[in-house]
């Protein structure tokens, strides 16, 4: 399959597919970060994570419409406003879902799967009723259009670079929150031992709600970023949820670094193979690889060295 291309062409293909992989990686990271907090830390199997992402995407769509209608002069900066709205909306919905459903199920992790799957169906139908079944797209502001030529053959799209910066920035903020702030210490204490955390003076219910809200809020940001690279429909979230769980499990559930590393591996493998093979073949190979690694290391790529 490589014989049809010259060496320099092959290099360019690898570079461009590599970059496309990086864009996919960024969306994976954003999606998986939220899930790493909710599933990896709290142990809640959140099947509705994709729908929280799509909520963020629809909020971005609405904001872009509002800006193009009422504030066309400021259209270039709508995305930043949209991102904040997406974070707040998805976060608030997450806190509502936690309050209504999840908090009753912390002792029954498998039941969270069913409950959140129900939430996901409800949300999908809500989107269908409100926004219609057709996919909608967002027009990007001018400065995000086009691409930046590196060489004659290699061009990197600007929106890709932007999404990547967004992913890196969000990861750093989350890492700082979890490992450097007092709030992060409380979150980690609660997820390790909810009863004991209460007995040392932590308001566990509040921490749980904020944590779940944060995870969903990050999914909202992921949705915002998603509008840069694809169109949005009521069921778009479904396409990504399996990949996202794959990333979190493969990376090792309790480790943020593992999540980033595994998102990188999976997205690069997928994107490079997709160019040469069919999409489904690429998926099969990725899955086989992940299954193989998980058989050898069931705890995922990265784990903490600690006595149990």
Residues that bind other proteins in the complex, under the rule CB under 8 A: 182, 185-186, 188-189, 192-193, 195-204, 254, 304-308
| Pairwise CA distance, residues 49 & 238, whole Å | 9
Placement of tokens 């992989």 in the chain: 21
H or E element, residue 165: helix 158-180
Residues 148, 243 contacting (CB under 8 angstroms):
no
| Three-state secondary structure call for residue 136 | strand
Shortest distance, CB of residue 299 to other proteins, whole angstroms? 13
CB of 252: closest distance to other proteins in angstroms?
12
**Least distance between other proteins and beta carbon 134 (Å):** 47
Q: How far is the CB of 254 from other proteins (least distance, A)?
A: 7
**What residues contact 82, with CB distance under 8 A and at least 6 apart?**
59, 60, 63, 64, 224
**Which helix (H) or strand (E) covers residue 98, if one does?**
helix 78-100
Task: Give whichever of 156 and 254 is closer to other proteins, judged by the CB atom.
Answer: 254
- Nearest to other proteins of 17, 204 (CB atom): 204
- Nearer to other proteins (CB atom), residue 107 or residue 308: 308
Taking the alpha carbons at both ends of the chain, their separation in whole angstroms is 49
Residue 150 or 199 having the CB closest to other proteins = 199
Given the complex with other proteins, which of 14 and 183 has the nearer CB atom? 183
As to burial, measured by CB atoms within 10 angstroms (0-12 exposed, 13-18 middle, 19+ buried), residue 108 is exposed
Q: How far is the CB of 174 from other proteins (least distance, A)?
A: 17
């Amino acid at each position: 399959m490589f014989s049809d291309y010259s060496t320099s062409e092959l290099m360019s293909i690898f570079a461009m597919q590599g970059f496309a992989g990086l864009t996919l990686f960024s969306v994976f990271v954003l999606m998986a970060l939220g899930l790493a907090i909710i599933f990896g830390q709290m142990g809640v199997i959140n099947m509705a994570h994709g729908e929280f992402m799509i909520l963020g995407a629809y909020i971005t769509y609405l904001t872009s419409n509002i800006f193009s209608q009422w504030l066309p002069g400021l259209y270039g900066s709508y995305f930043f406003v949209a991102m904040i709205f997406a974070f707040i909306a998805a976060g608030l919905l997450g806190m509502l879902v936690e309050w209504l459903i999840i908090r009753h199920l912390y002792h029954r992790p498998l039941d969270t799967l069913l409950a959140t799957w129900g939430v996901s169906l409800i949300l999908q139908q809500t989107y269908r009723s409100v926004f219609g079944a057709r996919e909608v797209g967002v027009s990007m502001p001018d400065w995000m259009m086009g691409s930046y030529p590196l060489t004659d053959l290699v061009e990197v799209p600007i929106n890709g670079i932007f999404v990547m910066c967004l992913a890196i920035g969000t990861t750093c903020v989350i890492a700082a929150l979890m490992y450097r702030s007092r709030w992060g210490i409380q979150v980690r204490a609660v997820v390790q031992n909810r009863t004991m955390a209460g007995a040392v003076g932590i308001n566990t219910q509040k921490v749980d709600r904020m944590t779940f809200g944060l995870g969903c809020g990050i999914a909202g940001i992921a949705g915002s970023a998603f509008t840069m690279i694809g169109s949005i429909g009521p069921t778009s979230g479904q396409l990504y949820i399996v990949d996202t769980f794959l990333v979190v499990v493969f990376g090792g559930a309790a480790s943020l670094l593992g999540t980033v590393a595994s998102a990188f591996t999976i997205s690069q493998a997928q994107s490079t193979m997709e160019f040469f093979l069919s999409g489904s073949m690429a998926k099969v190979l990725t899955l086989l690889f992940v299954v193989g690694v998980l058989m050898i290391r069931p705890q995922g790529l990265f784990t903490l060295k600690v006595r149990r």
